Structure 1
């Protein structure tokens, strides 16, 4: 049952990632991967908020592992950082890695903090 919940969450998260990435990236004329950064930070924020809630294991499988796991993408992040560096965009590559890591941790922290404040 748990595996099915992960699959269901991923069935929403993966298309959402694709569509958000496409929409965000189409608005920028730069090699910087704004779309992937956007979905990864959003996923960090959501997963941080979820982790601060007293959710049952099944809900975390559906929303955490399934939805957020498919929404975010470490492999695309790594590939895009490599591609930027390999094509001579080393400044973009370094900024992308630094912003992804620091802002990702920050977004997770904000999600946790905001949820705790809202729950009182």
Structure 2
């Protein structure tokens, strides 16, 4: 049953990432990979929230492992970051990679704290 929950959540997460990534990239039309950046940062925030909540194992498998696991994308993040290096845009690479990591950690903590705070009320 666990793999079914992860599979369904993953399918929904990857579709959401695909659609949202295309919408963001089309709307903002920039060489900077803002779509992946926004998706990964919001995914870190949402994982913080989900991790802090007292939910069932099944709900965690669906949302965290499935949906958010497929919604966020480490491989695309790495590809886009190192693509900057290949194009000799080292400053862009460092800004993208470091900001993604730093803001990802901050947003996870904020999401976790928000989830814990909401559980008090």
With the length of structure 1 as denominator, give the TM-score of the two structures.
0.96
RMSD: 0.9
Cross-structure match for 1:12: 12
Counterparts of 1:1-120 in structure 2 under 5 Å? 1-120=1-120
Deviations 1:76-106 (A, max 9, x none): 0000001111012211111000110000001
How much does 1:56 deviate? 1.4
Conserved 8 A contact 1:49-1:115: yes
Deviations 1:36-55 (A, max 9, x none): 00110111111100000111
Structure 2 gaps of 5+ residues are none
Structure 1 consecutive aligned stretches of length 4 or more whose deviation exceeds 2 Å: 27-30
Distance 1:91 1:46 in 2: 29
With the length of structure 2 as denominator, give the TM-score of the two structures.
0.95
Structure 1 gaps of 5+ residues are none
How much does 1:30 deviate? 2.5
Aligned length: 120
